[in-house]
Amino acid sequence: MTTALGVLLPGFEGLEASDWLRRAVAEGLGGVVLFARNVRSPEQVAALVAALRAEREDVLVAIDEEGGDVTRLDAATGSSTPGNLALGAAGDVELTEQVAAEIGSRLAELGIDLDLAPVADVNVDARSPIVGVRSFGSDPNLVAVHTAAFVRGLQSQGVAACAKHFPGHGATKADSHVEMPVLERVDLAPFAAAIDAGVQAVMPAHAVAFEYDSLPATLSRRLVTGLLRGSLHFDGLVVSDGMDMHALAQHQGAAAEALVAGVDALCLGGTPRSEADLEEFTAALAVVPESRLTEAAGRISDVSRWAAQGRASRPPAPAGAGAEAARRALRYEGEVRVGPQAAVVRLDPPASWAAGPVPWGLGGEVPLESMDGRPLVLVVRDLHRHPWQQRVVAAHPDAVVVEMGAPVLRPRARGYVATYGAARPNAEAAREVLGL
Catalytic (active-site) positions: 177, 241
Q: Are 171 and 183 in contact (CB under 8 A)?
A: yes
* Separation CA 373–CA 225 (nearest Å): 62
Per-residue H/E/C for 82-120: CCHHHHHHHCCHHHHHHHHHHHHHHHHHHCCCEECCCEC
* Separation CA 345–CA 362 (nearest Å): 9
Q: Are 435 and 339 in contact (CB under 8 A)?
A: yes
Burial (CB count <10 Å: 0-12, 13-18, 19+), residue 349:
middle
Q: Look at residues 67, 83, 64 and name the one whose alpha carbon lies nearest to residue 137.
A: 83
Q: Are 185 and 171 in contact (CB under 8 A)?
A: yes
- Between the CA of residue 248 and those of 94, 207, 273, what are the distances in Å? 38, 9, 18
Q: Are 324 and 87 in contact (CB under 8 A)?
A: no
Q: Are 230 and 296 in contact (CB under 8 A)?
A: no
Amino acid occupying residue 350: P
Q: Look at residues 421, 393, 394, 416 and name the one whose alpha carbon lies nearest to residue 406.
A: 421
- 293 Cβ contact partners less than 8 Å away, ≥ 6 residues apart: 3, 4, 6, 7, 259, 285
Burial (CB count <10 Å: 0-12, 13-18, 19+), residue 45:
buried
Q: How far is CA 274 from the centre of its chain?
A: 24
